[in-house]
Structures are given as C-alpha cells and as structure tokens.
Amino acid sequence: MEPSPILRPNRNEKKVTAYSNKGVRQFWLGMGFAGPAVVLLFVFLIMPALLALYYSFTNYYLLTPQLSEFVGFENYQRLAGDTLFLKSLKNTAIFTAIVVPLQTLTALALALLVNQKLKGIKFFRVAFFAPVVTSMVIVSILWTFIYNPDTGLANSILSIVGIGPYQYLMDKDQALYSIIFMSVWQGAGYQMMIFLAGLQDIPDHQYEAASIDGANSWQKLIHITIPGIRNILVFIALVTMIAATKLFIQPFVMTQGGPLDSTKTLVYMVYETGFKFRDVGYSSALAVLFFMIVLVISVVQRKWLRDTSQ
C-alpha cells in the first residue's frame, strides 16, 4: 500500500538514524508481504462483522436506509418473544445434539471397520466416502426425490421389509429427522478418513502387547484405540458441532423451512429476515447471536480439550 502524502515526510525524518531506518524498511517489507491479505480481511471480514454488530442496534430496513436509527437493545428484546426464533433455535439445537454424536460415532465405527486387514477393504473405504464427493446441494435434491412419499425410493425399499410408508419431508414431525439422516449419510465418510489416519498412527506393538496380556477386542478398543485417537475425536466433535449449527442448504433446498417451520434453522432465519423481509437490523441481531453461539462452543471445547489433556 502506498503511504499517504501526509505520512511521507515523517518517514523521511526517521531516516536520520540507521536503526529506525532499518526498522521502517522492515516494517514496509513485512507489510508488503502481509498487506494484501490484511487489507482484504479487513474489508471483507472485519468490516462486515463490525457492521453486523452495529446494525443489530438499529432499525435499518434495506429499502429505506436513510430512515435508519439507533434503537438500543430493541432487536435483541424482540428475539426473546419471537416464537419463530425460539423454534429455529430449538430445531438447530436438536439437529446439532443428534448429528454430532451420531455422525462422529458412525464415522468412528466405519473407520474401525475399514481399518481391518481384509481383501478388498479399499472398495469399502471408497464406498463410504462416495457421498462426500457430491455436493450438499446435489444430495439434497437427490434425497428430496428419495424421500417422496408416493414415488420415492425410501418407501419402496422399506415396504419390502414391511415398514412404512412414511411422509418424511412432508410431515412436521419427521422432516428434521429425515434431514438428520441424510446429513449423517453425506458427511460420515469425511470424518471416517480422519479417524482412519489416526487409527493407522497407533503402533501395532501396543495391540500385540495387549493380546499377550489376554485382552479381548472390546478392552483393546477402550484402553488403546480410544485414548490413541482422543484428540482427533474431540477435534471432529468440535468441527461437526460448528458445522451443524450452520445448517442451511438442506432445509433451503428440501423443505424451504417447512412444514410448519419444523426445519427452520438459525441461519435460515438470518437469511430470510435479511433477504426476504429486508429487516437488516433484526437479521443482524440474529447473526450476532449466532456468532456468540459458535464462539461459546469453541471456547468451551477448547478449554475442555486443554483441561483434559493435562
């Protein structure tokens, strides 16, 4: 970045001593390298973040910015009494509370399975990983057809074993769980790969020693495998949890938040209040709250990780 003309004389004055001259040169060299990234991060990340915080205290309406004024905590107070917000919060919480353990354990189980030394095991690794290769939009569209109550694959497969038919996305009590199932199906393979790398780092001699001591498979799992991948386990739980709180694409593509708002999520509401209802102030309050939730999750988990690893 070119320094402004006002600053330039100062820079020349500093040239008097060799020491500060070098310091200034190093500073500008450093800024030359880091500058582009710093400027971009400032304009496209820090500034919008600060603006979100600022807007959350105003009644900024997208079409009439000139009428915007400071309203204090009004937007936040409005949140507390907004039943749609409470429902979105609840849906996001349910999704997260189920997906995190379900997906993490599924991934761990898959990793343990494909870590076996069997012929053709590579095929199964690829099979479990396959859904990851598609995008979330693609699988959401695909599963909307699979979940179709009348002409969907899910009901016709389940009817073979005499279960169903279900309404899936059409039923307010099933829609969120249908999305949960699909999300775990799509994402488990990714975490399986991370677990697999961790499992392969556990030295074989630990298992051999345990076998000599007469340990069975279950004991080996509890006393060698799980402690061996503990850090990865916590890391995956954290990443999955933060990703889960961001749930948006699946309900947007599959249900538009319905039926009866049963799949509305926090991020969905940020989007809807901002871009559909154009209520920038209220949407920003939601966005700030969402940021706080993500922040709390990471701080708590990081602290927990540090405490337990000592």
Partner 1 sequence: MKKTVWKDVLLYMVLIILACLFLFPLVWMVISSFKTESRIFMDLTSFNAFLPTDFTFANYSAVFERIPFFRYIITSTLYVSVIVVLGLFVNSLAAYAFARMTFKGRDVLFAAVVALIIIPFESILLPLYLIVDELDWLNTYQALIVPFIANAFNIFMFRQFFLNLPKELEESARMDGASTLRIFFQIVIPLSKPVFITVALLTFITHWGDFMWPLIATTDESVRPLQVGMQFFFHQPPVKYGHIMAALTMGTIPLLLIFLFFQKYYVRGIASAGMKN
Site residues for partner 1, 115-144, by CB under 8 A, read 116, 118, 121, 123-124, 127-128, 130-131, 133-139, 141-144
Of the candidate spans 66-74, 84-92, 206-214, 227-235, the one that interacts with partner 1 by CB under 8 A turns out to be 227-235
The DSSP annotation for 233-286 comes to HHHHHHHHHHHHHT--HHHHHHTTT-STTTT--HHHHHHIIIIIS-BHHHHHHH
Q: Which two tokens stand for residue 188?
A: 């488990």
Q: Tell me the angle at which helices 136-146 and 175-200 cross, rounded to the nearest 10 degrees.
A: 130
Q: Which two tokens stand for residue 17?
A: 């001593």
- Minimum distance of partner 1 from residue 224's CB (angstroms): 18
Q: Quickly count: other Cβ atoms within 10 Å of residue 14's Cβ.
A: 13
Q: Report the distance separating Cα 236 and Cα 297, nearest Å.
A: 13
Q: Which residue has the tokens 């590579």?
A: 122
For partner 1, the closer of residues 73 and 145 by Cβ is 145
- Minimum distance of partner 1 from residue 189's CB (angstroms): 7
- Minimum distance of partner 1 from residue 298's CB (angstroms): 6
For partner 1, the closer of residues 155 and 167 by Cβ is 155
For partner 1, the closer of residues 163 and 294 by Cβ is 294
Length of the chain: 310
- Minimum distance of partner 1 from residue 308's CB (angstroms): 12
Q: Report the distance separating Cα 265 and Cα 144, nearest Å.
A: 18
Q: Which two tokens stand for residue 242?
A: 């933060």
For partner 1, the closer of residues 135 and 173 by Cβ is 135
For partner 1, the closer of residues 44 and 70 by Cβ is 44
Of the candidate spans 49-57, 96-104, 167-175, 203-211, the one that interacts with partner 1 by CB under 8 A turns out to be 49-57
Residues numbered 141-170 forming contacts with partner 1, rule: CB under 8 A: 141-146, 151, 153, 156-157, 159
Q: Which residue has the tokens 């039923």?
A: 171
Residue 61 CB burial class (10 angstroms; 0-12, 13-18, ≥19): middle
Q: Report the distance separating Cα 249 and Cα 252, nearest Å.
A: 5
Count of residues touching partner 1 (by CB under 8 A): 88
Question: What are the phi and psi torsion angles at 201 (to 5°)?
Answer: -85, -10
Residues numbered 24-43 forming contacts with partner 1, rule: CB under 8 A: 26-27, 29-31, 33-34, 36-38, 40-41, 43
Q: Report the distance separating Cα 97 and Cα 243, nearest Å.
A: 12
For partner 1, the closer of residues 46 and 173 by Cβ is 46
For partner 1, the closer of residues 57 and 128 by Cβ is 128
- Binding flag, residue 97, partner 1 (CB under 8 A): no
Peptide bond into 259 cis (omega under 30): yes
Residues numbered 238-297 forming contacts with partner 1, rule: CB under 8 A: 242, 246, 248-249, 252-253, 267, 270-271, 274-275, 280, 283-284, 287-288, 290-291, 294-295
- Minimum distance of partner 1 from residue 75's CB (angstroms): 13
Interface mask toward partner 1 for 185-204; x: CB under 8 A? x---xx--xxx-xx------
Q: Report the distance separating Cα 46 and Cα 52, nearest Å.
A: 10
